[in-house]
Amino acid sequence: MAASFSASQDAGNVTVATFTDTSTGLVGVTGRLIYLRKYDGTYLVPEGTTTDYVLWPYADSSIDIDVLDKDYCLDVTVIWLTGSSIGYQLTSLVLFTAYSELFLRQLTQALAANRALLTNKNYWENKIKLRTLIDDATQAVALVNDQTIATFCLDEAKKLTGNIQVFFG
């Protein structure tokens, strides 16, 4: 018997975080709550939600939550309710990087369309910097479970993706 979940983000709809209940053998579960805590301690919830959590009906094995306005490293807690009590609980750091990954893809498309970029120092320095920041955020979560470092890397990546001129100057 184990409580577990997975998380994903579809490149076709980067604002949506999808969570899937992968638990086995849980007994008496009647519902779920999911908390998406940002680095600053606040919670990410859909517009109009008045709680820090999102209700996740137990009849639904997965839930799409439309809240991602940028890349995030979120401390995700899922609570499985048994009646009105907490029956099971699991917290895990989850990294969402589709915004930066898609930006990298667009940079590659720009290179294919404009071969002069092959010799553009700003393009390569900043593209490598962006790739490194994404990789470092991934390692911060996978190797040391560190939301602080992951968030720092994603914030720095956002500075690059928000300033396209640095790639083509």
Please tell me the distance from the alpha carbon of residue 10 to that of residue 94, in angstroms, as a whole number: 14
- Please choose, from the candidates 44, 51, 40, 48, the residue with its C-alpha nearest in 3D space to the C-alpha of residue 19: 44
Running DSSP on this structure, what letter comes out for residue 143? H
pLDDT one digit per residue (tens) for the chain, 169 residues = 799 999 999 989 999 999 999 999 999 999 999 999 999 999 999 999 999 999 999 999 999 999 999 999 999 999 999 999 999 999 999 999 999 999 999 999 999 999 999 999 999 999 999 999 999 999 999 999 999 999 999 999 999 999 999 998 8
The whole-number pLDDT of residue 1 equals 75
Please tell me the distance from the alpha carbon of residue 41 to that of residue 148, in angstroms, as a whole number: 11
User: Dihedral sign, CA of 126, 132, 136, 137?
Assistant: positive
- Please choose, from the candidates 157, 158, 138, the residue with its C-alpha nearest in 3D space to the C-alpha of residue 147: 138
pTM of the shown model: 0.94
Beta pairing partners, 64:
18
The residues, any chain, with a CB within 8 Å of residue 71's CB and separated by 6 or more, are 95, 96, 97, 98, 99, 100, 137, 154, 157, 158
Please tell me the distance from the alpha carbon of residue 61 to that of residue 127, in angstroms, as a whole number: 38
Integer angstrom CA distances of residue 5 from 22, 59, 84, 98, 127:
5, 15, 21, 19, 33
The whole-number pLDDT of residue 95 equals 98
